[in-house]
Amino acid sequence: MKLDEVERAMRAGEYGAAAKVALEHQIKVGEFFGAAEFVAVTQAHVMADTESLGEAGVRWLESLAALDGRPLRLRVPTITDPRGTDFAKASVLRQPAWAVELERRAVQAFARLGVLLTDTCINYQTIQAPARGESVAFGDTGVVIYSNSVCGARSNFEGGPSAIAAGITGRTPRYGFHLDAQRRATLRFRVDWSPRTLNDWGALGGLVGRLAGNYWSVPVIEGLAGVPGSDALKHFGAAMASFGSSAMFHLVGVTPEATRLEDTGGDKLPVAHRIGEADVRALQAAYANEEDVDVVVFSAPQLSLYELRELAALCDGRRLAKPLLAVTSPQVKPDADRLGLTARIESAGGHVLSGMCFYQSYAREIAEANGWKRLATNSVKLVNILGGYGYVPLLASMERCVEAAEKGRLLR
Amino acid sequence: MIFTARHALGGKVKGTALVAHDGFSARYDLDRIKGIFSRPSHKLTGQSYVGKILVLDTSKGGVASAWMLHEMASRGVVPLALVFNSVNPILVQGAVFGNVTMLAGFEGDITALVPNGATVEIDAGKRSLRVL
In this prediction, residue A389 carries a pLDDT of 85
Rounded to the nearest 5 degrees, what angle is found at the Cα of A219, between the Cα atoms of A81 and A136? 35
Q: Among A282, A261, A212, which residue's Cα sits nearest to residue A240?
A: A212
Nearest to A86 by CA among A344, A307, A330, A304: A330
Q: Given this model, what pLDDT does residue A72 score?
A: 86
Give the mean pLDDT of A317-346: 98
Which residues face B104 on adjacent strands?
Answer: B7, B84
Please report the DSSP string for B7-40 in residue order.
Answer: EEES-EEEEEEEE-SSEE-HHHHEETTTTEE--T
Subunit contact B93:A159, Cβ cutoff 8 A: yes
Mean pLDDT (chain B) is: 94
Domains, chain A: 5-178 (3.30.499.10), 184-284 (no CATH), 287-410 (3.30.499.10)
pLDDT at A289 over 80: no
Per the CB < 8 A criterion, the answer to whether A275 and A189 are in contact is yes
The conformation of residue A131, written as its DSSP 8-state character, comes to: P
A329 touches chain B (CB under 8 A): no
CB-side neighbour CA atoms (13 Å) of B28: 21
* Class of residue A156 by CB neighbours under 10 A (exposed 0-12, middle 13-18, buried 19+): buried
What's the whole-model pTM score?
0.95
In a 13 Å sphere around the CA of A310, the CA atoms on its Cβ side amount to 15
What pLDDT does residue B27 have?
A: 81
Mark yes or no for CB contact A139/B30 under 8 Å: no
Q: SS3 of A299, please?
A: strand
What three-state secondary structure class fits A308?
helix
Strand pairing of B101-104 and B7-9? antiparallel
**Residue A404, CA atoms < 13 Å, CB-side half-sphere:** 30
Interchain pair B67, A32: CB under 8 A: no
d(CA A195, CA A201): 5
Name the amino acid, one letter, at A162: S
Chain A: residue whose CA lies nearest to B39: A388
- Identify the pLDDT of residue A390: 86
Judge whether A29 and B93 are in contact, CB under 8 Å. Answer: yes
CA A270 to chain CA centroid, Å, is 31
Contact indicator for B88, B64 with CB cutoff of 8 Å: no
Dist CA B123 CA B105 (whole Å) = 15
Question: How many C-beta atoms lie closer than 10 Å to residue A225's C-beta?
Answer: 9
The whole-number average pLDDT for the span A94-107 is 96
Give the pLDDT mean for A250-256: 98
Minimum distance, in Å, between the CA of residue B24 and any CA atom of chain A: 10
pLDDT tens-digit profile of A11-20?
999 999 999 9
Query: What domains does chain B contain, in order, with CATH numbers?
Result: 2-131 (3.50.30.10)
pLDDT for A412 equals 74
Grade residue B39 by pLDDT with cuts at 50, 70 and 90.
confident
In B, minimum Cα distance to A383 occurs at B28
Backbone angles phi, psi at A189, to 5 degrees: -115, 140
Per-residue confidence at A332, pLDDT binned at 50, 70, 90? very high
Q: Is the peptide bond before A330 cis (omega within 30 degrees of 0)?
A: no
Share of chain B above pLDDT 70, in %: 99
In a mutagenesis test of the A interface, which of B93, B99, B103, B127 is the best target, namely the one with the most A β-carbons within 10 Å?
Answer: B93
Once rounded to an integer, what is the mean pLDDT over residues A277-286? Answer: 95
Contact A101, A140 (CB under 8 A): no
Which pLDDT score is estimated for A290?
Answer: 67
Q: Are A360 and A334 in contact (CB under 8 A)?
A: no
User: Cα(B44)–Cα(A81) distance, rounded to whole angstroms?
Assistant: 30
The reply to whether residue A56 touches residue B71, judged by beta carbons under 8 angstroms, is yes
Q: Which of A120, A93, A46 is nearest to A362 (CA)?
A: A93
Give residue-wise pLDDT tens across range A220-244: 999 999 999 999 999 999 999 999 9
Give yes or no for residue A32 having a pLDDT over 80: yes
B11 — pLDDT class (breaks 50, 70, 90)? very high
Instruction: Give how far the C-alpha of residue B115 lies from the chain's centroid of Cα atoms, to the nearest Å.
Output: 15
Answer for the pair A290, A392: CB distance below 8 angstroms, yes or no.
yes
- Lowest mean pLDDT across A62-76, A139-153, A336-350: A62-76
Q: Is the dihedral of CA A142, A148, A152, A155 positive or negative?
A: positive
What residues of B are in contact with residue A385 (Cβ under 8 Å)? 27-28, 61-62
Confidence of residue A71 (pLDDT cuts 50, 70, 90): confident
For CA atoms A387, B40, A370, B34, give the dihedral sign: negative
Reported ipTM: the value is: 0.92
How remote is the C-alpha of A225 from its chain's centroid? 26
Report the share of chain A in percent with pLDDT over 70: 100
CA–CA separation, A280 and A285 (whole Å): 9
Is the minimum CB–CB distance between A214 and chain B shorter than 8 Å? yes
Residue A291 has pLDDT above 70, yes or no: yes
Pairing between β-strand A44-46 and β-strand A137-138 as defined by DSSP bridges:
parallel
What residues have CB less than 8 Å from A285, skipping those under 6 apart? none
3-class SS of residue A306: helix
Residue A99 reports pLDDT greater than 80: yes
Instruction: State whether residue A221 sits within 8 Å of chain B by CB.
Output: no
Q: Per-residue pLDDT tens for B51-93?
A: 999 999 998 867 888 999 999 999 999 999 999 999 999 999 9
Average pLDDT, chain A: 96
